[in-house]
Amino acid sequence: MNKQPSLLERLTIAMIGFFAFLQVYSVQAILPVLQSDLHASEVQIGMAVGATVLAIALISPFIGMLSDAFGRKRFIVGSLFLLALPTAMIGFGHTVDELIFWRFLQGLSIPGITVVLIAYISEEYKDSLTAMMSLYVSGTVLGGFSGRFFAGYLEHFIGWRHGYLAMAGLTLIGAVWVLNSLPTSRHFVVSENFKSAFATLISHTKNPHVISSCVLGGCVLFSLVGCFTFINLHLADAPYQLSTAQLANIFSIYLIGMAITPLTTQLIAHAGMVKTIMLAISLSVIGIILTLSTPLSLVIVGLTLMSSGVFITQSATISYLTSHVNQGRSLASGLYYFSYYGGGFIGAYGCAIAYQMGAWNGTVVLILILQLMALMIAWFFMHQKTQSAH
């Protein structure tokens, strides 16, 4: 039986999520300024967001294999140190292509934190899996908010170039913290057979629970990236004309998501994982529809509902995935993140085209299509499989 995690362990798990996601979407709050300074189109500036999530998608499955062979903590700590370098280099960029390049390198560092941490949690905290996973997701929510919030206000006060140097310094502080605070793995078993790792990976691709979780994850991040990238261009335009600092304030709604996510444990206990996922997706659908309203207050309510639904969906989906996989958990989480961030990249690109063609209304229509697809996956695959199992 695993011992209960200490307060420091709980805090460290949450803060790893925080530092991992501090950089992933940080450019969103300053997209209008970046678009102007770097003379970029909507598609190019969308790729500044999409480049990071594409890199995360591409490398996630392989990080799982490497971690199974070499351990957990060293990957998490090493990746945090590596993440600081491209973050600092963004401040020296002068073209949109340079920005996209450094954002891509940021993405290459992140799976060593996220994918490996999920495997670490599933091994070290089996008796409190859902609670620790919720803490991790809460940390990612806080990090996602803080990255946008810091970037917006740093741009306002010292400019975005100096702002990214400050963000790099904060990431280094996080790496040192995790190095000193994260317990060394107690239950990790080295896997040296890469052939068996590939066999396990193939077996995961035939597991309907894994595949449905992965596709659902892709739909979820498609919606989140599309929404929170292009809502900034929408709100920076007439009639709102919000500044970067005001756009950063909009992302305070992420803090509501951080408060709601831990409740996922109670929701799952009462309604089950699949019903929780379906309820959360429905909440997101209502939220994105509300963003079509003109009053800024209703737009903010819509964004709050949309993001809260996404956070609960992600937490419940990860719990669903890890509870249906008995071996090769880091490989399964690697596949999940491949699909999840692949969906985010497609969302950044697809919604950029939708925004070019139909402004915010066109973007919302595309997001709604993906959210309804996610709802069907949860009902026809996850729910039906669960029912047939009983």
Contact 142, 258 (CB under 8 A): yes
Quickly tell me which residue has 């740093």 as its tokens. Answer: 154
The residue type at 203? S
Q: How far is CA 353 from CA 111, 186, 267, 336, 356, in A?
A: 27, 48, 37, 26, 5
Output 197 or 345, whichever has higher pLDDT.
345
The reported pTM is 0.79
Average pLDDT over the chain, rounded to whole? 86
The DSSP letter of residue 327 is S
Q: Which tens digit of pLDDT belongs to each residue from 251-275?
A: 888 777 667 767 777 777 777 778 8
Q: Which tens digit of pLDDT belongs to each residue from 322-376?
A: 777 767 666 777 788 788 889 999 999 999 999 999 999 999 999 999 999 998 8
Output 327 or 10, whichever has higher pLDDT.
10
Residue 300: pLDDT over 90: yes
Q: How confident is the model at residue 155 (pLDDT cuts 50, 70, 90)?
A: very high
Q: Tell me what pLDDT residue 189 has.
A: 66
Q: Tell me what pLDDT residue 261 has.
A: 67
Q: How confident is the model at residue 184 (pLDDT cuts 50, 70, 90)?
A: confident
Residue 75: pLDDT over 60: yes
Contact 215, 52 (CB under 8 A): no
Lowest mean pLDDT among 119-123, 212-216, 360-364: 119-123
Q: How confident is the model at residue 390 (pLDDT cuts 50, 70, 90)?
A: very low
Q: CA-to-CA distance for 104 and 83, rounded, in angstroms?
A: 11
Average pLDDT, integer, range 293-316: 89
Residue 5: pLDDT over 90: no
> How buried is 327 (Cβ within 10 angstroms: 0-12 exposed, 13-18 middle, 19+ buried)?
exposed
Average pLDDT, integer, range 287-308: 92
The angle, 0 to 180 degrees and rounded to 10, between the axes of the packed helices 329-377 and 273-290 is 60
Q: DSSP for 101-131?
A: HHHHHHHHHTHHHHHHHHHHHHHH-GGGHHH
Output 389 or 252, whichever has higher pLDDT.
252
- 3-state SS class at 293: coil
Contact 328, 280 (CB under 8 A): no
Output 154 or 379, whichever has higher pLDDT.
154
Q: Tell me what pLDDT residue 192 has.
A: 59
Q: How confident is the model at residue 385 (pLDDT cuts 50, 70, 90)?
A: low
Average pLDDT, integer, range 88-112: 93
Q: Tell me what pLDDT residue 121 has.
A: 87
